[in-house]
Every structure is written in C-alpha cells, then in structure tokens.
Chain A
C-alpha cells in the first residue's frame, strides 16, 4: 500500500466530506436566485458560512468564499493595497518576509513591478524566525508609508510558526492592516481569527481533507478592500461570480472536523515527527533539521541532506512506495532550490538536498514505519548519486 506523507501539498479527501460534497453537487439552484431552488442553495451556502465562522471564531459576514489559497492571497494583498493606496498614495510599502508562499510574494512583486509598490522584507534568522524588533524599528521610521503587512501564520515548507498576535499588536499602533496566510497552520495549531487581531486571513480546504477549489478569505468587517473580480456583486461585492455552495459546504465540514480534532491530532503528529527525526538522524548523522529550534508545526518536518539531491531521494522513496516532497510543488515538477530554504542562509547545494514530510488527518503509525524502513536505502542511493556536478 503506497504511503502518502505530503499533506501540505494536498490531503486525501475525508469520507464524510466526499459524501456531503457529492450530495450537495446534485442539488439545483443558484444561491442568488429568488425561487425556492435558489433559496435552498443559499441556505447551504449560508449554513457553511456560519459553520466556518464558528470553527475559526469570526463573524459569519467576514467569510468570503473563494477558489482557494492563491485567490484569497491575491484578493487580500491587491485588494487592501489598492484600497489603502488609492486613498493615500504615499502609502505604498508592503511588508512581508522572504519565506512567504509564492501566492503572496508574487502578488506583491506584481504590485511592485506595475503599481509603484515597495516591498520591505522582515529579516529572519537561520531558523526562519522573524526579527520582530527589526519590524518595530522599520515601522518607527516608515509606518506612515506602509499600506499593509502580510505574514503567514506558519510556513508551509519548514513549519516555523510566526507570532501573528505580536505582529498585529505592533501594527495596531500605526493602524496598519495585517493579512496572514493561515493555510499551513489551520487544523494543526489553534487559529482564532477574532483573537489574532488580523484584518484578513487566507484559508483553504484541500490541505485538510476537503476538495481542491474550496477556500475563503476571512476579512474583518471594518477592513475595506477593492475587488479583483468584477461582476455580479456576490460575496459582499468583494468576489463576484456564482458562489459554489457544494464547495462551501465541503469546506465548512472539513474545517469543522479539522478544528475539532486539532488538539488530538497535534499530539499524535508530534510523536510521529519526533520518531521521524530520531530515525533519520540515526541513519544520516549529518542531516540538518530545518528550523529545529524554532516554534514549529506538529505535522511538519523538513530535512536537509548534505551531498544528496532531493530529487534522488524523492525518486528512490517513491519507487519504494513512499511519497514525500522536496519542498513545495511547482511548475513542471522542476525542483529548483527553494526560496524558503535559501532564506535560512543555506547554500544552493544545501537547498537542493531537501525533503519535506507533512502529516495529516489520515496519517497512521504504519506510514511512519514504512518511511523509516525505506529511508536508509534511499539515503544511501542518493548519497551515491551525489550532486549533479563533478
């Protein structure tokens, strides 16, 4: 039986979610229609909104359904930037960090390239921990020019958890809105929107056992945003397009289940990742566990193997029926050096020898056993194949 240890890429759909998803797909009706079919569909949609609001502690009106993480990140970053900058053109700085997801970094860089925005990256250390004091110093000098801050709740590749409440507290002094991509964090550590002080938060379903294409942007009631999509005015006029009631229902059930199991799962995952780290260290004494000393997600472990290429490890493990990742999945399957690993100060070679294991709702002890059984041979083979240069 093949073993799947790449839940941060996408997680197997939950049986309960699949059942609900399929049954709602056969319902008729556009939630915007006035007739009874439409009203029925609207009811599914609004029920889902309420359930999500309850699971992550926000107001039901703060849930804006989207197609997923990338769309939510784009909507938050471009939308808030456009709104702030149009009212005060001197506010053109976006604060973020080097290890953010491409959906955040590339959206910001597009604003930099085409809309006169400026980017300030909060420095981080070799453990991926952000230098909050540097952020404070930057804001003391430049706060009046800052349009927004976007910092992920936890890193999808190396698992570092960022101090979101600390950041929002500092930003509040200057009334700067803060967005956070919480995709990697949700379901693995407590995520409470109201408590967090965030203006906007990105979530998605498919990393937790929901269908791909189901996501949301949680946007604080008082946070203004210029929409990216224009059209029928759905979702508070912030995300036009016929709302997908089935996706919304599936997302709601996914998040509700994930949040209710979170504490138990975290404990279970913690033990599993400790086993993985200990087992790998026994075989590869020179392994570097990324961000080992930082506050980390319980379901993520990220290794760097000097002298090995991640794609060799991936190939050998995959041949043995164990699916892991070298980092985050990207275009055409090319595993170039990860910008996240490079942000830790790792060399290009080091950044090529990475392996990421992420656990999820369906991970069993036997999966960890299978990995640890397959690993020694894979490591030996990858070491033999070495790096691509002479």
Chain B
C-alpha cells in the first residue's frame, strides 16, 4: 500500500512510520503545520506545534529513509479546532480539541488529501488497534497498552475512515517498548517527553488563554436554590466538577465542599453545589456516530460501557438511539460530566461509537 505517515515529531508516530515501512508499505512522512507562527522550541509538555517538532519529525523520517513534507493545515485547524474550542467554551460546554482534530483534520482534511494524492491509507502513532470480525468488517479496539490506550480519541472515526487507517502501535504492550524500539532504531526522539496538554495553548492554562478571546464579565455564583453566593469574573472557563478557584468566602451550611455543577453562559451564572449533585445517571447527544459497522438494532436498549474522558475509566451502561439522539443510561451514576465532552461507547474492547454530550441527567435531582 501507499501509506502517508502523519509525523508529529514525537516518538510514537516515528516508530509507527518505521513499522509501516517494515511491513512493506511505500511510506511518505508528513508533518502538519498547525500554526503559521510556530514557536522555535518546544516548551514543557506541549508537542507538535513548534519548529523543533517539525525538525524532529523530519530527522526521524530521514533516519527511517522515507520522503518527508510539511503540509500547512493551519487555516483549517484554526477554523475547525481552535475556533470550535472557543465557541464551545462560549456556549458553556467543555470541548475536546484532540477529538475535533482527529475528526476534522487528521482523519478528514488530511486523509481526503492523502487519498486524492494517490495514497491508500493514513498511518498514525495512536495506541489503538484495528481488527477484522468474522464477516470481514473492520473494528476499532483498545490498545493492549491500556495505560496509553487512545481508542477514546479515535471514537469519532467512521467505517470509511477505519478502512484507510493504519495504527501500527495497536499491539504495543507499553510505551517503554516503543521508546526502546525507537532507541534501537536510533531515532533521536526516543527519549522525547510525551505531550499531554492542548497543543495550541502554549502556557497550558486554558482559562487564561481564553481570557483575551472571550469577553469576561462579572456574574453570579449561585447554589441549587438560586441563592447568590459570590461573584465570579467571568463564567467562561469554569469546568463542571471544578472545586478550586471558586473563591466563595463563606462555607456551605453543611460544611461540605462545593463544586461547579453547571455553567449558564446566557445569564453568565455558575451553579455550584455538593459533590452528590455532580452524579449523572444519563447522557445524550444528537451528534453521534458509529465506529465501523453500526449495531443491528439501536432502537432497543443494549448493554455496553461508556467512557467520557480520554484517560478515564469505562462505566457499565445501556445505550439506544431515540429521536435522533444517542441515549446512554448509566448502571451506576458517574461524577462530573459536562456537555461538550464526548461519550465513547465500548463493547468489551471494541469501540462501538460516540456522541458529543448535549444533555446530562442528574442522578439525585432534576436536571441542573
């Protein structure tokens, strides 16, 4: 196959590209320029946005012996990921930009371009594996390296995208093996630190980064009964489940800590309450998709598991589609889920599909 290897400049994508070459594919490396004004050097744990990362990717491609190019996706990245991130926060939701990047840039814009330019598949360094079921249908599964499993952020992939994806690290047992392999292959990125944070927020402080993009006005922090507790300097940037930084002077009546329960951008109000009020029993979203073959019957409840954040646990649940919504009923309530987050549904290790959460139902009271 002709394979385009997306190379961020990190160790995973470099080893993935090398494995694709060894598997006999004709591989070309590409680094996505996601900013027109990239920093010179990487700082802290943010990767893939600096000239240093681009050079690291190029150096790895040279070492592996494949052609290498840099493609500029900065404008599209800004429109589809960065602007979306800002407007989601503006709407009081908590977006996952890595998910959007996979959905709209890597496995959309880049994949489309790759196919148009004559490639058969896109190779990335994600920790997830593509398997074939008994009928020959492709399925996305969790990585064997559970600690690094990235199947969650790939939950947005559809059948066509799976057909053209290659994840050579899917069978990796752990990250250390990949680093050792990179070292054995003499790749200079072998010991490069992992990137964790949002790549386009250079200092890692989302609220601070948002502050000059979304106008902040003072508003009320209220309890569930609507009592005014304190004043915040802008509702944007609070996260459901957040406890610190609320600056409510007086303690609650029962002395228990208070958490952000919801953010209401319309009237600029942040609602806080006790821990148990964070418990959610049901999630739903109209923007959903199936990863690979859709289940045969989705109108009746079926048992599954759901994961609501990249490195979170999965929770037993029942799932169905009703009124064009994916509805997920949790067997046991889970804590702190915010609209905007993605719920990825699993059957065992298989990724079944995902929905962007529009609505949550509280386990203990009327919806907050």
Q: Do A and B come from one complex?
A: yes
Residues of chain A whose beta carbon lies under 8 Å from any beta carbon of chain B? 311-312, 314-316, 318-319, 331-336, 348, 352, 381-382, 384-386, 388-389
The complex places the Cα of A348 from the Cα of B71 at a distance, in Å, of 16
CB of B290 within 8 Å of the partner chain: no
The stretch of B72-80, B221-229, B260-268, B322-330 that contacts the partner chain? B72-80
**CB closest chain-A residue, reference B2:** A319
Interfacial chain B residues near A314, Cβ < 8 Å: 69
- Quick one: given A318-B67, A389-B75, A389-B79, are A332 and B38 in contact (CB under 8 Å)? yes
**CB closest chain-A residue, reference B58:** A333
Interfacial chain A residues near B55, Cβ < 8 Å: 332
B72/A335 in contact, CB under 8 A = yes
**CB closest chain-A residue, reference B53:** A332
CB of B21 within 8 Å of the partner chain: no
CB of B109 within 8 Å of the partner chain: yes
**6 nearest A-B pairs in the assembled complex, by CB-CB distance:** A385-B116, A333-B70, A332-B54, A384-B116, A334-B33, A332-B51
CB of B118 within 8 Å of the partner chain: yes
Contact of A333 among B54, B79, B117, B118 (CB under 8 A): B54
A336/B36 in contact, CB under 8 A = yes
Interfacial chain A residues near B36, Cβ < 8 Å: 334, 336
A336/B70 in contact, CB under 8 A = no
Least CB distance from A102 to B in Å reads: 14
Contact with A along B43-75 (1 / 0, CB 8 A): 000000001001100100000000101111111
The complex places the Cα of A334 from the Cα of B40 at a distance, in Å, of 13
A316/B117 in contact, CB under 8 A = yes
Contact with A along B107-134 (1 / 0, CB 8 A): 0010011001110000000000000000
The complex places the Cα of A166 from the Cα of B32 at a distance, in Å, of 45
Least CB distance from B8 to A in Å reads: 13
B69/A315 in contact, CB under 8 A = yes
Interfacial chain B residues near A389, Cβ < 8 Å: 75-76, 79, 109
Interfacial chain A residues near B118, Cβ < 8 Å: 316, 381
- Quick one: given A332-B33, A332-B38, A333-B70, are A388 and B75 in contact (CB under 8 Å)? yes
The complex places the Cα of A372 from the Cα of B51 at a distance, in Å, of 34
Least CB distance from A382 to B in Å reads: 8
Total contacting residues, chain B, CB less than 8 A:
25
Return 16 A-B CB contacts under 8 Å, by A number: A311-B69, A314-B69, A315-B69, A315-B117, A316-B118, A332-B70, A333-B58, A334-B38, A334-B70, A335-B70, A336-B72, A336-B74, A384-B117, A385-B112, A388-B113, A389-B76
**CB closest chain-B residue, reference A336:** B36
- From residue 106 to 163 of chain B, which have CB atoms closer than 8 A to chain A? 109, 112-113, 116-118
Contact of A334 among B72, B113, B117 (CB under 8 A): B72
- Quick one: given A334-B33, A381-B116, are A388 and B109 in contact (CB under 8 Å)? yes
The complex places the Cα of A318 from the Cα of B70 at a distance, in Å, of 13
Extra pairs beyond A336-B72, A336-B74 (5, CB < 8 Å): A315-B117, A334-B70, A336-B36, A382-B117, A385-B117
Contact with A along B261-278 (1 / 0, CB 8 A): 000000000000000000
The complex places the Cα of A10 from the Cα of B327 at a distance, in Å, of 61
Least CB distance from B71 to A in Å reads: 5
Interfacial chain A residues near B71, Cβ < 8 Å: 311
**CB closest chain-B residue, reference A380:** B116
Contact with A along B341-356 (1 / 0, CB 8 A): 0000000000000000
Least CB distance from B41 to A in Å reads: 12
B72/A312 in contact, CB under 8 A = no
The complex places the Cα of A335 from the Cα of B54 at a distance, in Å, of 13
- From residue 220 to 243 of chain B, which have CB atoms closer than 8 A to chain A? none
The complex places the Cα of A336 from the Cα of B38 at a distance, in Å, of 12
Interfacial chain A residues near B58, Cβ < 8 Å: 333
Interfacial chain A residues near B112, Cβ < 8 Å: 385
The complex places the Cα of A332 from the Cα of B38 at a distance, in Å, of 9
Least CB distance from A330 to B in Å reads: 10
Least CB distance from A129 to B in Å reads: 28
B67/A319 in contact, CB under 8 A = yes
**CB closest chain-A residue, reference B109:** A388
Interfacial chain B residues near A332, Cβ < 8 Å: 33, 38, 51, 54-55, 70
Contact with A along B85-125 (1 / 0, CB 8 A): 00000000000000000000000010011001110000000
The complex places the Cα of A388 from the Cα of B67 at a distance, in Å, of 21
The complex places the Cα of A331 from the Cα of B109 at a distance, in Å, of 23
The complex places the Cα of A42 from the Cα of B330 at a distance, in Å, of 85
A385/B54 in contact, CB under 8 A = no
A311/B72 in contact, CB under 8 A = yes
The complex places the Cα of A311 from the Cα of B69 at a distance, in Å, of 8
B113/A312 in contact, CB under 8 A = yes
B69/A333 in contact, CB under 8 A = yes
The complex places the Cα of A333 from the Cα of B70 at a distance, in Å, of 6
Least CB distance from A342 to B in Å reads: 13
Interfacial chain A residues near B74, Cβ < 8 Å: 336
Interfacial chain B residues near A382, Cβ < 8 Å: 117
Interfacial chain B residues near A336, Cβ < 8 Å: 36, 72, 74
Least CB distance from A65 to B in Å reads: 30
Interfacial chain B residues near A335, Cβ < 8 Å: 70, 72
Least CB distance from B113 to A in Å reads: 5
